[in-house]
Amino acid sequence: MKKINLNGTLRPRVITLAIATLTIGFLAAACQEAPTEPAAEGESPAAEESAASGEGLKLGALLPATGDLSSIGQPMLDALPLIVEEVNACGGVNDADVTLVIEDDQTDPTAGAEAMTKLVEADQVGAVVGAFASSVSTAAVDIAARTEVPLVSPGSTSPVFTEKAAAGDFNGFWARTAPPDTYQAEALAQLAIDEGWQNVSTVVINNDYGVGFEQAFVAEFEERGGTIVNKDNPTRYDPKATTFESEAAAAFGGEPDAVVAVLYAETGSLLLKSAYEQGLTEGVQILLTDGVQTPDFPEAVGNTADGSYILAGAIGTVPGAGGPALADFTAKWEESKGEPPGAFVPHTWDAAALLMLAAEAAGSNEGSAIAAELRNVAEGGTEVTDICAGLEALRNGEDINYQGASGNVDIDENGDVVGNYDVWTVTDEGQIEVIDQVILGE
């Protein structure tokens, strides 16, 4: 496998890309698929008491504790009790403790829709953090719009949400703290061109995330002069498949310089392992995306005959976190968990923070009131990075501009934010290491 030369062209640097107006009709998405029992509610005794009396904000969570994205989803879920505990310790929202109600969406659209229905109808939450998989958010957002409960995703990156929001489909009940995949595809295409990988093939999970990313990447890569080896016969795999020999052979055939693999962790590890076992990865650069950026992924793909990691030298992109609140959030996380936060964890923290701040600004725990204030607390007032400071300012009648851990989280009229991207690699020791950053700017 081609290795990255950290002393060569791929060294820490900043790449500035122009952002085009989002008129692209790509059906993309970050992440989707699989079922099990819902997770238990996570809530403090004080929150239970306020919920029983009919007081207090009930905040729902719709994230994957199980399924193909569980390795990324579980740390995201861990962020929510931390922020709710912090908020309740500094006075709660609207003079009462916040109750956290967690549902496992199982990385599956059907299970996600059922869980979302439970959250809004049975649990009567005022707002929901979720989903992660774009396919799950697609299933959940119609329920959110119909029941007037705002849904803020920390990781669903499909550009289709931008299009539907612009068409008025969501009535302001949708937003996200991670940027659309249109930007990530642009970043990955530019990275491939900069590194000299002119002939690239693709293999993607056959859902909104994979196919949409594929389409966005192909357009961006060809615009920069690159060639897609398998453009006329793209390789897409069934999310429920268990063997991937033919897909691996199709993607790595044709002598590409690199293979862009848009995968989920469980199924993706099997596909890449199959490619290696068929002798197809030698001399081919593997390019990955956010769906597999988890510490366990290199181990899951496995080792070569001499004990090296199959994925050593693979590189990828993932929405980065670089907001003004990141240092403080990271310190809190490391004190609690003993390790740095993973991908999309800061975005989860920010999604919950925005919803609780919006409820305080509205003076109401009702979904429609929260949705109406969501953009207002994200921009335009006094900058705050600490949620308790923001809540206190709102109690004093001040306008605030929440500056998050993931970014400044300025939400536009379509519920989108602009973000940056980390470039990461798999080291010889099988570790995930961030080696670069792509800055998207005007």
With helix as H, strand as E and coil as C, how does the chain read? CCCCCCCCCCCCCEEEEECCCCCCCCCCCCCCCCCCCCCCCCCCHHHHHHHHCCCCCEEEEEECCCCCCHHHHHHHHHHHHHHHHHHHHCCCECCECCEEEEEECCCCHHHHHHHHHHHHHHCCCCEEEECCCHHHHHHHHHHHHHHCCCEEECCCCCCHHHHHHHCCCCCCCEEECCCCHHHHHHHHHHHHHHCCCCEEEEEEECCHHHHHHHHHHHHHHHHCCCEECCCCCCEEECCCCCCCHHHHHHHHCCCCCEEEEECCHHHHHHHHHHHHHCCCCCCCEEEECHHHCCCCHHHHHCECCCCCECCCCCEEEEECCCCCCHHHHHHHHHHHHCCCCCCCHHHHHHHHHHHHHHHHHHCCCCHHHHHHHHHHHHCCCEEECCHHHHHHHHHCCCCEEECCCCCCCCCCCCCCCCCCEEEEEECCCCCEEEEEEEEEEC
The half-sphere exposure of 168 on its side-chain side, counting CA atoms within 13 A, is 0
> Cα(399)–Cα(419) distance, rounded to whole angstroms?
24
Residues 277 and 219 sit within 8 Å (Cβ to Cβ) = no
Residues 368-381 have pLDDT tens digits of: 999 999 999 999 89
| Beta strands 285-288; 315-319: pairing state | parallel
Amino acid at 57: L
Degrees to nearest 5, angle at CA 115 with 266 and 366: 130
- Cis check: omega of the bond before 167, within 30 degrees of 0: no
Non-local (6+) Cβ contacts of 312 within 8 A are 1, 3, 298, 426, 427, 428, 430
Amino acid code (one letter) for 80: L
Backbone angles phi, psi at 362, to 5 degrees: -75, -20
List of the chain residues with pLDDT < 50: 1-53, 442
Which residue is associated with the tokens 């769906």?
291
For residues 250 and 203, give the distance between their C-alpha atoms in angstroms, rounded to a whole number: 8
The pLDDT value recorded for residue 419 is 80
> Crossing angle for the helix pair 70-89 and 265-277, nearest 10 degrees?
150
| Claim: this prediction has a pTM higher than 0.85 | no
State residue 337's pLDDT score.
Answer: 95
- Please report where in the chains the tokens 């549902």 appear, as a residue: 103
Q: pLDDT of 340-361, one tens digit each?
A: 999 999 999 999 999 999 999 9
- How far apart CA 270 and CA 300 sit, in angstroms, is 8
Using CA atoms, how far apart are residues 144 and 313, in angstroms rounded to an integer? 42
Residue 63 pairs in a beta bridge with: 104
Architecture in CATH of 45-179+326-367: 3-Layer(aba) Sandwich (3.40)
State both tokens at 47. 């929150």
Q: Where are the domains of the chain?
A: 45-179+326-367
- Match 């290696």 to its residue by tokens: 276
Q: What are phi and psi of 236, to 5 degrees?
A: -130, 130
